[in-house]
Amino acid sequence: MIATGSGQARTARDGRHWTLRPGRPTDGRSLARLFAEVRSEGRWLITTPGAVSEPSEAFWISEMIRADEHLVLVAESDGEVVGNVLVSVDRGVATEHLGVLSITISEDWRDVGIGTELIAAAQRWSGERGLRKISLGVFPDNERAIAVYERAGFVREGLRRMQYRSGEAFRDEVLMAWFPRQEDR
């Protein structure tokens, strides 16, 4: 796993270089900007543009990283955050065995293998931490992400119909999960 703050050098399928590294509290603002960028596309994140202020989100992210209870990894190229993966872990006795995965990648860095690398790193971390299940929610029209999750071993667990309101429309959510231990699959 990634043991130092310097990270690991990687090469994307298109030849660009990037680094996979642990998130730092100082990444809060950069990650908030990444989320705002993806949120502005209006398709992949349910939170609407402007619903969360950048300073508030940056503070929340920095505190999450500082707490060191969750996994926050950053994909960085030339000093710019281009992607991240988060596995948040609940402290509740009934749910401390599972993590919830979320991933965000800048539009210019999609389809070059970063998502696959981020998910693999999250899976390694989850297994090392002893988690029994990693869950996620994804919109059904995000076929690219669903394909990446399924290649990584995630299975579909269900569909929550009309789960989110987006303007005047409602959106469904596909529930997926990955089980680190073979006997749990």
pTM check: above 0.75: yes
Instruction: Give the rounded percent of residues in the chain with a pLDDT score beyond 90.
Output: 66
d(CA 10, CA 108): 16
| 3 pLDDT above the threshold of 50 | no
- Asked if the structure places residue 162 within a domain, the reply is no
Q: Which residues lie across from 88 on neighbouring strands?
A: 100
- Asked if the structure places residue 141 within a domain, the reply is no
Total of domains in the chain:
1
Residue 70 is part of which domain span?
A: 8-132
User: Which residue type is seen at 95?
Assistant: T
pLDDT at 47: 64
- Asked if the structure places residue 72 within a domain, the reply is yes
- Asked if the structure places residue 184 within a domain, the reply is no
- Asked if the structure places residue 172 within a domain, the reply is no
Radius of gyration of the chain, Cα coordinates, nearest whole angstrom: 16
- Residue 38's CATH number: 3.40.630.30
d(CA 180, CA 99): 11
- Asked if the structure places residue 183 within a domain, the reply is no
- Asked if the structure places residue 26 within a domain, the reply is yes
Instruction: Give the rounded percent of residues in the chain with a pLDDT score beyond 70.
Output: 91
* Of 41-45, 80-84, 88-92, 163-167, highest mean pLDDT: 80-84
